[in-house]
Amino acid sequence: MIEIIHSPLGQEHPYEQRPEERFPRQPLAHQPFTVGIATRPPGAIQSVQVHTRVDDTIGPVINAVPDPDWQPRLEHGVGAEFLERMEKVEQDVWHADLTAPPPGQTLTYWIDGDGQTGPTYTLTGRDWQSAAPDTVHLEQSSTDSNQWTMHIQRDAGGSLSGKHPLPALRAVEWLTDGSRALRVRLTFACPAGEAFFGLGERFNALNQRGEILDVRCYEQYKNQGKRTYLAIPFVLSSAGYGVFVASDRWMQFDLAATEPDRWVLEADLGPDESLILTWFTGDDPLAIIRAFTQQTGPAALPPLWTFGLWMSANEWNSQARVVHEVEQSLAHEIVPSVLVLEAWSDEDTFYIWNDAQYTPTAGDAALRYYDFTFPADGKWPDPKGMVEWLHARDIRLLLWQVPVFAASDGQNPQHEADRLFFEQEGYGVREADGSLYRVKPFWFRNGYLWDVTHPAARSWWLNKRAYLLEELGIDGFKTDGGEHMWGSSTRFGDGRQGDELWNVYPQLYTEAYYTFTTEKRGGDAVLFSRAGFTGSQRSPIHWAGDENSTWEAYRSSILAGLSAGVSGIPFWGWDLAGFSGEIPSAELYLRSAAMAAFCPIMQYHAEYNQHREPSRDRTPWNIQARTGNTQVIPTFRFLVNVRHNLMPYIWQEAQHAACTGEPMMRALALWHRDAPPYQYFFGRELLVCPVVEASVDTWPVYLPPGEWFDLWTRQRFSGDQHLDVAAPLDRIPVYVRAGAQLPVAWGDDRRLGTYVPLTASPTETLSYE
């Protein structure tokens, strides 16, 4: 069978295109563009032509040119390194160069290959049209004089007259196809030196001046660069304002990158052709962050136990392995608080324990714990007993989840029963033609995406997992993924389309799990989520996703946490020292652990490695055994104990963050532009200076104005100066603000680093005068 393939929008991958797409996908009027064409099998077609028509006028016939250099590309994603990553596509690739029609006119084109004609495709001319800035309506809040709302709507009257503290609006432009506005572009004045922070969890920089960043939730899988799992359309400026764009659609910020005297917002529009911007003004960055976080929140407070040590590895796929690793930790006197299990389920349903025996039930029913038998020689002989064993040691358990109904191979009867019911009831996201949307990215490709906006689908999905909370007593879920949504015209149960939900989907997914989980556990539960969007602070906690074990990734992760904090996410963590690839050096591991000890969440995790030896687990004992550095275990233990000693302070600051919306990690550069981008306040009183370079025993720090005390020695320093300080491997430069009252939990020796239980009451309040 001969195929002639052209898909103008392709899979709608946010950043990459296939050879059979249109380049660009949506060209402007009069703009040249390329029609990509694939023909299969190779050599079957000798000549390809593209026929054109603009409205009713026949246009030229364009001879397509073969591309002799086309090569299939490598795929990337979780687990891709263990599979054949080269796309096995045998085809010829062609391209033809066309020109987009004038504004409002429609180009129709079709492809002919050796006399075989394909379907017709259309493209309507679109262009940018200027509007007067004074058509934008601005109003000041009647309850908060530091808050302003800007309404932008096509063909609507408005006024920007009067005094206001916002940046000058230089231009308003509408992208129109002749019938409606598709996008708006707003240009604002930008003085030299203005810094920009936020826009979600950003790995590339802290100050985003000079960058062009889009707002799109996306799974990059390591080396994120300018891409992010957790995009939030909020920018904090050093010029005394923050701006929140109240839209879930795609948008892009050009922050003085193209022109140094202006920043530009470009945003897709819905059918109402409008956009709303909320501005927060004032001299205090924290006050602006507070206002934004409270307006889109509030931030929910995780339980106290979440602030202890978390342990995890993808190869812990049996009860025996879990018990072994926990006993190892306790034997080394490294006391964990949370255990995360990813490889616990049957890998089909993701709610049934691997190796469990049971009689499959109807797809509309939910199994209970007593429906299962667990073989004594199986992977999980007694899940409930294991949970009780962990709880007896004050260790909480989270189980991994993903919002995808995995593609079925027909071998799991329960999964098949669930699939038939899922399809029958329409519990998945749908394509525009009504068929169920199938996941397009590499990870879980061809699975169905759970429609979390569909009330019955939400209840059905979650009730399948109810026994884990109600009968086993697990303490939450690691809600992974959520970035699986490609396709602007997909349909959801609540009537919205993909272009409205591809950003907000992970927030809806995790919030559904959070509400369900906390209700079942009386509030004593938590999530651990990778992706998110505006309002994700309502369903904590978040972590920075997949990263390599490199110094560069370590630095990027700190920036990501600080940017997330600016964007309303106060409870955040990361896989300390990375989770992927070869293990980190002992130095990188301990420097990362020292930073993580002064971070909202302290967690280590390791990627699946096919159980190959030597182990790539990121446990302290494996890192010590692999590197031969005998400092690893004692130093890691010391850092965890210090965290326990400071837990009264950490818990105090966590409560403050939830109450106010302020981040627990506050970048020092928000106040002091000459500060290193990796320094931050941990809570209100501690200044943390992570060591982020290899092979150093001293480290440059900046102390802001005021008086400061070294946390370890209580030595006093005057601020407003740069210092080179000693940075041995078992310490991190940390300073206490003069005047602080620091609650701590001591051992008998009243020394940092001596173990006390995580829940120990404060034994003393240290006064720094």
Residues with active-site annotation: 480, 483, 546
Q: Which residue(s) pair with 92 in the sheet? A: 39
**How many C-beta neighbours within 10 Å does residue 473 have?**
16
- How far apart CA 391 and CA 27 sit, in angstroms, is 59
Q: Please state the separation of Cα 487 from the chain's center in Å.
A: 19
CB 148 within 8 A of CB 164: yes
CB 309 within 8 A of CB 303: no
Output the DSSP codes for 579-645: SBSSPPPHHHHHHHHHHHTTSS-EEE-----TTPSSP----HHHHHHHH--TTHHHHHHHHHHHHHH
Structure tokens that stand for 425 in this block: 């009831």
**Phi and psi, residue 268, nearest 5°:** -65, 150
Structure tokens that stand for 711 in this block: 């946390």
- How far apart CA 490 and CA 497 sit, in angstroms, is 5
Structure tokens that stand for 521 in this block: 């556990």
CB 175 within 8 A of CB 221: no
62: helix, strand or coil: strand
- Beta-carbon-side half-sphere exposure of residue 1 (alpha carbons within 13 Å): 3
The tokens 């539960």 sit on which residue? 525
**How many C-beta neighbours within 10 Å does residue 395 have?**
24
**Phi and psi, residue 535, nearest 5°:** 90, 0
Helices H / strands E in the chain, number of each: 13, 41
Cα distances from 603 to residues 226, 309, 577, 594, 659, in angstroms, run 24, 6, 10, 12, 24
Closest by CA position to 460, among listed 431, 494, 420, 495: 420
Cα distances from 454 to residues 450, 457, 491, in angstroms, run 9, 5, 11
- How far apart CA 344 and CA 108 sit, in angstroms, is 53
CB 573 within 8 A of CB 596: yes
Structure tokens that stand for 537 in this block: 């602070």
Structure tokens that stand for 242 in this block: 């923050």
CB 7 within 8 A of CB 70: no
